[in-house]
């Protein structure tokens, strides 16, 4: 009888015609793929992937968060679709098609996912675009869903010997109402608990961290709680950029693959981490784009950096994700100085996160009455996006497997993440996924803010080349 957590429900409630909570990936496979073969593979494996066999069951009057109910009659003809690109089937045509698909909201009357086979790619390749609602999975959970469709070799693995587990059915409408009223009665206690737990973390919460006295209260609360001294986070007023503010209904998508070996050489030469290099590449790419479109701000951008709260080997219910804000040193002209500023900022945030994971988003969601959450979420997104957006850009780096994978016997060549932009987070999302010696980067933009996402993607390649040139000039 799984029920959405408060944070899961937030991803449903903030959706509007312009804020869409689809997380997705574009896999490019070597060789064409038959839709029937893909449906047969899914039919075997979907019973073992709970996120893909559940649909929403709403609570009467919206008194509580929805439940998940198992869908036994899954319509694979609806969920698995195919389209074709006209010749020549190049990467720009592929990305344009993905842009349109990604902007469409999912049907909430069905399990919240769709897969599109995209035929006609040049070089005999085929695209596989998979999207799922953020209410059903977070980034790590989405990777687990994808993994269920992949094989380690060309021959598909047989299904597990054990029978799949079935969900218990959700309660009936009357019991849902009773449970919802009981939760409503407990909301004041949740709000008090949130206030107590949030006090040590006020300097982590966008907008709140900029209020006078928030840092003092955070430090005092940590001392009273016996938590000791934690690394201080920088004050981060987000500068105004061409991609700040409310987003439109339309998306642009582009992608680029960078050699992971080159990133590792830069990492080794300057004594930093792979993630530091990836963040610096993003900073360098954004700097180049800003220089060509209105000028580079005189202070860092504010990047939202997602972190997983999942513990290794421990399955948690629902979304287990937090977001920390980090300065992104686009204002620094020298690429090496920019790299070291990024390293310092990320080191400080990781130290802070390791001491006290940023669970404020989840706890804040739990403190709100379910019946008011939808209106509050949409109103807050609209107000913050119009007035003081706390974040300029989302940047994420997800490590993946360094060996080849297969779908229905076709080798996976590249996998590009296709993520979320919102009024609050700004009109750019750059998400990287490392796979089999390559760093595959998906760039999602708002079409009205950045009409040509390929320009930004190209600047990412230039930014890595800039670091490589700096590395090659070092004495060896």
Q: Which residues are catalytic?
A: 134
Edge-first strand order for the sheet with 438-446 is 251-259, 438-446, 428-435, 393-398, 301-308, 321-328
SS3 (DSSP) at 293: coil
- Look up residue 167 and give its DSSP letter: P
Beta-carbon contacts of residue 251 (< 8 Å; ≥ 6 apart)? 99, 100, 102, 103, 421, 444, 445, 446, 447
Residue 29: which of 41, 13, 44 has the closest Cα?
41
How far apart are alpha carbons 222 and 80 in whole angstroms?
50
Q: Which two tokens stand for residue 119?
A: 């035929």
Handedness of CA 111, 187, 196, 212 (dihedral sign): positive
Longest dimension (CA), the chain: 74
Taking a C-beta distance cutoff of 8 angstroms, is the pair 338, 329 a contact?
yes
Q: Which two tokens stand for residue 222?
A: 């940590």
What is the phi/psi pair of residue 460, to 5°?
Answer: -65, -40
Q: Which two tokens stand for residue 407?
A: 């779908």
Query: Around 429, how many Cα atoms within 13 Å sit in the side-chain half-sphere?
Result: 24
Beta-carbon contacts of residue 2 (< 8 Å; ≥ 6 apart)? 50, 54, 67, 68, 167, 317
């Amino acid at each position: 009888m799984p029920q959405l957590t408060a944070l899961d429900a937030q991803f449903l409630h903030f959706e509007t015609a312009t804020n869409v909570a689809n997380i997705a990936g574009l896999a490019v496979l070597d060789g064409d793929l038959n839709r029937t073969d893909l449906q047969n593979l899914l039919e075997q494996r979907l019973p073992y992937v709970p996120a893909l066999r559940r649909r929403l069951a709403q609570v009467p009057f919206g008194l509580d968060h929805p439940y998940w109910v198992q869908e036994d009659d899954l319509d694979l003809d609806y969920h698995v679709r195919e389209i074709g690109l006209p010749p020549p089937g190049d990467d720009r045509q592929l990305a344009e098609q993905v842009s349109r698909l990604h902007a469409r909201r999912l049907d909430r009357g069905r399990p919240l996912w769709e897969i599109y086979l995209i035929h006609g790619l040049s070089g005999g390749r085929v695209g596989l675009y998979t999207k799922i609602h953020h209410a059903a999975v977070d980034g790590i959970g989405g990777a687990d869903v994808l993994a269920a469709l992949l094989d380690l070799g060309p021959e598909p693995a047989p299904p597990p010997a054990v029978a799949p587990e079935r969900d218990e059915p959700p309660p009936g409408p009357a019991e849902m109402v009773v449970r919802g009223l009981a939760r409503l009665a407990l909301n004041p206690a949740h709000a008090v608990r949130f206030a107590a737990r949030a006090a040590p973390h006020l300097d982590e919460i966008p907008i709140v961290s900029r209020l006078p006295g928030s840092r003092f209260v955070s430090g005092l609360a940590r001392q009273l709680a016996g938590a000791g001294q934690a690394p201080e986070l920088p004050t981060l007023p987000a500068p105004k950029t061409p991609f700040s503010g409310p987003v439109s209904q339309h998306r642009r998508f582009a992608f680029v693959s960078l050699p992971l070996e080159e990133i590792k050489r830069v990492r080794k030469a300057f004594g930093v981490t792979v993630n530091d290099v990836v963040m610096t590449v993003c900073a360098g790419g954004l700097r180049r784009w800003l220089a060509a479109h209105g000028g580079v701000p005189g202070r860092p951008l504010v990047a939202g950096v997602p972190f997983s709260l999942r513990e290794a080997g421990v399955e948690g219910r629902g979304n287990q994700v937090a977001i920390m804000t980090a300065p992104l040193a686009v204002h620094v002209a020298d690429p090496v100085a920019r790299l070291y500023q990024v390293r310092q900022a990320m080191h400080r945030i990781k130290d802070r996160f390791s001491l006290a994971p940023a669970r404020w988003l989840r706890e804040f969601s739990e403190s709100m009455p379910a019946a008011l959450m939808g209106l509050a979420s949409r109103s807050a997104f609209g107000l913050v996006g119009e007035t003081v957006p706390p974040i300029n850009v989302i940047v994420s780096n997800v490590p993946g497997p360094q060996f080849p994978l297969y779908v229905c016997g076709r080798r996976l060549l590249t996998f590009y993440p296709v993520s979320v932009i919102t009024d609050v987070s700004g009109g750019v999302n750059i998400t990287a996924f490392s796979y089999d010696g390559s760093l595959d980067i998906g760039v999602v933009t708002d079409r009205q803010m950045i009409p040509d996402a390929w320009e930004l993607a190209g600047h990412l390649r230039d930014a890595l080349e800039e670091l490589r040139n700096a590395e090659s000039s070092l004495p060896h």
